[in-house]
Amino acid sequence: MKYVVVSGGVISGIGKGVLASSTGMLLKTLGLKVTSIKIDPYMNIDAGTMSPLEHGECFVLNDGGETDLDLGNYERYLNVTLTKDHNITTGKIYSHVIARERKGDYLGKTVQIVPHLTNAIQDWIERVSRIPVDDTGLEPDVCIIELGGTVGDIESAPFVEALRQFQFKVGKENFALIHVSLVPVIHGEQKTKPTQAAIKDLRSLGLVPDMIACRCSEQLEQSTIDKIAMFCHVGSEQVVNVHDVNSTYHVPLLLLEQKMIDYLHNRLQLNDITLNDDDKQRGNDLLTKWKKTTGNFDASMETVKIALVGKYTNLKDSYLSVIKALEHSSMRCRRKLDIMWVESTDLEPETQETDKARFHEAWNKVSSADGVLVPGGFGTRGTEGMIHAARWARENKIPFLGVCLGLQIATIEFVRDVIGKTEASSTEFVEGLDEENQVVIYMPEIDKATMGGNMRLGLRPTYFQDNSEWSKIRKLYGSPASVEERHRHRYEINPEIVSELEENGLAFVGKDESNKRCEIFELKNHPYYVATQYHPEYTSKVLDPSKPFLGLIAAASGILDDVIDGKYDFHTDSESTDF
Ligand code: GLN
């Protein structure tokens, strides 16, 4: 197993995740099998209990793991399926060691951070890196380990020490380190001091950079590269220029141009890994498809405008997978994506009273959009605004997609307006809601006493109902009997009211295995009005966009029938992609 560690200095949030996943993706183009581990040095066991406004989206895995959003980057770039163990947090590793101590595994010993915790980290990495994650079902060849935070923080110290020891355990030719640093531009000058200081910190902790990836708003000058190489004690070929680019999908190609892979190839003696012709061919195909799909941006392409009506819009990372799913679908439909961010409270009558300009601006966006999206969310704030947006889309025949909370919102809207129960709501939004108005209710099996990791989570099947052959969403999936998608919710559509909803035209075309729980609804007499209780965005891939999102973008672009007929599918021969 070859390990590539990606750590960061100077500041966090400079795109370590994208750099790490792009590196992994490039290694895959050689035909290697690549996996990844993300280390998050916080005390939470997982990301499930953190506010999206503070930490960005909580990403959900097949096994129900609620993880850091970078796991999403890895799944998307590497086309792999990870497990909850691929995300190590301080909370997880401490509770693992403490549980072992209680069991008596260290009987007679004083349990310490070094060596017990640091050993546990190394054992965890070795064990998890070997789990097969792609469709070959084989053990991976390379594991990318991203260390969150910045080196030098108190939080990450045990992990840094574990990795320091690990490099000797696995051997020099099996361990490489990429340190991501920042080169600020001050008064037009590219400053190298922060990078020099970051590398000094790294070396003082016993880690040696094999590559220094410099994030900069502009292309690095040769003199900057030479200076960093000189003062950080590396060759200039080890300094990688990662300047801002239009799209993060271009980062792998940026790294490729700078021969990063050639360097890693030598450094990690990748020739030792035997690859057969099929592996190499798969790698080649991946690079060709990636270049073709991501290089497909063209200034002359038509724009598709999507109003994203959410409640965490101040931090765009709260909706990272949703944005990615929209991007993947737009690339497939050959459209330029314009996401119009709408904070849902801005659509509410209270805002009209307090801040008219804000209210009108928000409605201007919703009413000029080609499609409306209401994504997932928790709590009452902003839900009335979402209900107004869903009504706008339903009445004006604007393509609409509701995801999780979005499905619950659109159902409440329908009951209020079409069935006429104006007080209808969710027990999540209104305490003590009368029984007759309970459109969305707490699921009976969910524990009310604890919060961590106990929602209805992970991959679960949805069965298409008899007589749903007409359904656009079913056709987009290729007309299967069932689909499997990832979930994360505590509330559901009240099963008692489903028949009444269906009699009024809201077709629940997909239900769970009990045939009671609603998973997908669709309106028949509408260009595209679809909502899912699950989160299809989590499994969207650059080369395989999520179907409900593809439907939204296609309908908003006026090409839904062509997309359903496969006219926009990816083909390797250049002619058929030339629209
Ligand atoms: N708050 C809703 C629930 O728990 C929706 C959750 C979500 O959108 N992920 O059911």
Ranges of H-type helices in 452-493 = 472-476
Bridge partners, residue 144, by sequence: 4, 36
Q: Average pLDDT over the chain, rounded to whole?
A: 93
Q: 442 CB under 6 A from ligand 1?
A: no
DSSP state of 164: H
Q: 405 CB under 6 A from ligand 1?
A: yes
Q: Which two tokens stand for residue 208?
A: 């040696």
The answer to whether 45 touches 453, Cβ cutoff 8 Å, is yes
CB within 8 Å of 194: residues ≥ 6 apart: 9, 10, 181, 182, 183, 184
Active site (annotated) includes residue 519? no
Bridge partners, residue 239, by sequence: 212
DSSP state of 459: E
Active site (annotated) includes residue 232? no
Active site (annotated) includes residue 535? yes
Gap between the terminal Cα atoms of the chain: 43
Q: Which atom of ligand 1 is nearest to the CA of 535?
A: 9
Q: 402 CB under 6 A from ligand 1?
A: no
Query: Smallest Cα–Cα separation from 482: which of 498, 494, 497, 466?
Result: 466
Ranges of H-type helices in 211-319 = 222-232, 251-257, 260-267, 277-294
Structure confidence at residue 579 as a pLDDT band (50, 70, 90): very low
Model pLDDT for residues 258-269, shown as the tens digit of each residue: 999 999 999 999
Bridge partners, residue 341, by sequence: 308
Q: 490 CB under 6 A from ligand 1?
A: yes
| Count of positions (residues) in the chain | 579
- Most ligand 1 atoms within 8 A of CB, residue of 445, 490, 533 to mutate: 490
Model pLDDT for residues 476-513, shown as the tens digit of each residue: 999 999 999 999 999 999 999 999 999 999 999 999 99
Distance CA 127, CA 307 (A): 44
Q: Work out the percent of the chain whose per-residue pLDDT is above 90.
A: 85
Model pLDDT for residues 331-364, shown as the tens digit of each residue: 899 999 999 999 999 999 999 999 999 999 999 9
Q: Which two tokens stand for residue 503?
A: 């009699």
pTM value is 0.92
- Most ligand 1 atoms within 8 A of CB, residue of 308, 373, 408 to mutate: 408
Structure confidence at residue 33 as a pLDDT band (50, 70, 90): very high
The residue that leads in pLDDT, 289 or 174, is: 174
**pLDDT of 289 strictly over 90:** no
The answer to whether 504 touches 418, Cβ cutoff 8 Å, is yes
Q: Give me the mean pLDDT over the 291-317 stretch.
A: 85
Q: Measure Cα distances from 276 to 31, 79, 281, 305, 411 in Å.
A: 9, 20, 9, 45, 53
List strand residue ranges (DSSP E) for 75-216, in order.
87-89, 142-147, 175-182, 185-186, 189-190, 211-216
Q: 378 CB under 6 A from ligand 1?
A: yes
* Distance in Å, CA 534 to ligand 1 centroid: 9
Bridge partners, residue 215, by sequence: 182, 242
In this structure, the residue with its CA closest to atom 1 of ligand 1 is 378
- Most ligand 1 atoms within 8 A of CB, residue of 401, 411, 428 to mutate: 428
**pLDDT of 248 strictly over 90:** no
